[in-house]
Structure 1
């Protein structure tokens, strides 16, 4: 793992491609085909890319029950407890709107309303992600969404991973479709004979899924365009090198484009962590993926001062930030930009990925400068409400009309002035 001196003002942002022309062309063709051909296009693309012809696009109750019977009972209990933690955390985010009395019977307000239907994309491929089911479905349920749909690519045997189905079962979700890729995003956005459309699509996926979400935005809402996973660790010489190395590799094993960065004021820690990373890579099951990530996007920065280190972290605005050093809680107050902050030795990033209750769907590639992780607010909309009494209207109509005419909108002025007079 590369060790380098941290220069002041350095930008740690990665410059990742947002899809090439050929990928965009493929996605647009898929979206068009699904929009015009419906289920037929879903079956064609599923056979082409996933290797099987789906007889039924929707997962049956028998398949769900089979998955429940297959899963280890202890894992079932662990998933259930994680779900409880996630629900408890997100229940604190519920908004109720407000009502402001202005006098004379006039009032202003805000009404918070849950979306009618949302679709969750659960990625497949090299790993199964029951945790993604929990992290996306639970805040939607807490918000009050009535219809929640899951789409996910099945294996060549036509089955979804048992863990994904069990997680959905735990949450009472039974509308699950064996469709993946850009075609799944198209089905959720436009609808087909089998899959009714939704109002919002959430969940991560490969480059084709990300591009498809970007293309359908406006037709439906989306959560974010998620890039490869990333972790930054801010540590001093009180940290244990083997633990820091393990934390860096926990994200590197996600994807060859994943990013793992250590920022430290200790040259000794930097050297020991680099040695540990190499040592631990040798027996990591996903060694090939993790090594590619470390070689391309893995860096250890040695800062002259703690202030420089903090400045670098805020410049990076990482998806995940671990702070493993003396006075970690106080130091966390200086962090302005990070998707999730993990404080202290015992709060390694996977604690948040699976169990603590915070959401693991977080902004990547420095978008934590302006974006937040998935939360209950993502599944509601807010309507403003105005109720003016006649007196409040009389007091304010001339002001409103003057403002409208200042903008050259005579029709607006007349709409305000036309009210309240005796009509013949």
Structure 2
């Protein structure tokens, strides 16, 4: 079902590994050509374009783009008590973890009379995207909203696609469980918009039609400064196209799990964890790295048995048999560490002897799950960690969503006359070295003719 990649006896250079290891193919550049007209349509026609695109791509033409308060309240009232209790616990744990990420201003006394203070300031407004395709993701509401709230972002809005199967009070709106999660978190601004058009709405804002069809009517959504949240290739392409006009968290690709395991691991546990991520999408990546060929064979057998017995068999089988998934054989655990560091997985499980020590050696991963009792599914919902994580190897340079994602560090420089005079000759020397004499003159001018 899933391919084997045998790296035993080979030199494991990072460059070669990145070319050899399985990875999902995500052609964002090709998608850009398709999303540019959609973005321009939303910019020019606002709410009218959003309605047209919702009907075209989601099979639903929203009458109201912003979800009314009574619909949010109804979703929470009708939420299954067990699901509500699970969401409340997920929120509690996420708040506990993310509260410790808050930053405090720090003032450095560089010299007498000269200080630099780093102030941490939240972005003014964020747009939080929650996907809605093949699954429902209230957990992504939690993962986006909690760190934004703890960063004390002044204004936040959620967008999620309308669901064609909704009925009654929820007709034309996102999935009721998404709406309930928003209500539970106190989010009042929720928009029934999906895909690239949601990112365009957050970037440009949107108004209702004005006179003669102009985009000058009542404001539906104000522009945001930053957009976060996972999505499909069209969402990713829209983020790339609009980056600069707005900040983005990352260009998210298909989800991925890598597991580093030795012969102490349980093959059924490994198989179930690989399947859990393959369940997301046919492009989802599930990779096992091991120095034990018997374990690899046992996992293959467990996959055959478990895939046949689970719900989304066809989707999972397609993901596991795709070029992005595989079982990688290495000579030793040390080689396995090199492989997973080169792969830089979104989710990395360590299921080895002395797993904590092995995990401490890993440099590149979005999140690391240590030992047999910390599966990725725990992190998806209730570990307290964030599940919006870098994909496609970006974990070697990027982090997952956190409170810091919504903060900006601003240096505040405060020098007295004496402190500036003391360093003036250094500024002048460096300005002359860079052939920018006016930079130096901006300092020396302050001391001409006994200037105060």
- TM-score, with structure 2 as normaliser: 0.91
Equivalent-residue separation in structure 2 for 1:368 and 1:228 (angstroms)? 14
Equivalent-residue separation in structure 1 for 2:295 and 2:398 (angstroms)? 32
Map of 1:404 onto structure 2: 431
In the alignment, structure 1 residue 350 sits paired with structure 2 residue 362: no
Greater mean alpha carbon deviation, residues 412-421 or residues 130-139: 412-421
- How far off is 1:125 after superposition? 1.7
4+ residue stretches of structure 1 with deviation over 6 A? none
Map of 1:16 onto structure 2: 25
In the alignment, structure 1 residue 177 sits paired with structure 2 residue 186: no
CA contact (8 A) 1:2 1:274 kept: no
- 1:150-189 matches, within 5 Å, as 150-156=158-164, 157-189=171-203
Gaps of 5+ in 1: none
Per-residue Cα deviation, 1:337-384 (whole angstroms, up to 9, x for no partner): 111100011100010110010010111111111111111110000111
- How far off is 1:94 after superposition? 0.9
RMSD: 1.4
Map of 2:91 onto structure 1: 83
Equivalent-residue separation in structure 2 for 1:19 and 1:420 (angstroms)? 55
Equivalent-residue separation in structure 2 for 1:160 and 1:69 (angstroms)? 16
1:47–1:100 Cα change, 3 Å: same
**What SS does the corresponding residue of 2:281 show, helix, strand or coil?**
coil
In the alignment, structure 1 residue 54 sits paired with structure 2 residue 55: no
CA contact (8 A) 1:13 1:315 kept: no
CA contact (8 A) 2:351 2:370 kept: yes
**What SS does the corresponding residue of 1:118 show, helix, strand or coil?**
strand
Map of 1:247 onto structure 2: 273
- How far off is 1:262 after superposition? 0.8
In the alignment, structure 1 residue 384 sits paired with structure 2 residue 411: yes
**What SS does the corresponding residue of 1:150 show, helix, strand or coil?**
strand
Map of 2:212 onto structure 1: none
**What SS does the corresponding residue of 1:245 show, helix, strand or coil?**
helix
**How many pairs were matched up?**
423
CA contact (8 A) 1:231 1:251 kept: yes
Per-residue Cα deviation, 1:216-273 (whole angstroms, up to 9, x for no partner): 0000100000010111111122211111100000111111111111111221111110
Map of 1:332 onto structure 2: 359
Equivalent-residue separation in structure 2 for 1:41 and 1:28 (angstroms)? 13
**What SS does the corresponding residue of 1:419 show, helix, strand or coil?**
helix
Equivalent-residue separation in structure 2 for 1:20 and 1:408 (angstroms)? 40
- How far off is 1:25 after superposition? 2.1
Per-residue Cα deviation, 1:36-75 (whole angstroms, up to 9, x for no partner): 1111111111111112221111111121122112211121
**What SS does the corresponding residue of 1:232 show, helix, strand or coil?**
strand
- TM-score, with structure 1 as normaliser: 0.97
In the alignment, structure 1 residue 230 sits paired with structure 2 residue 239: no
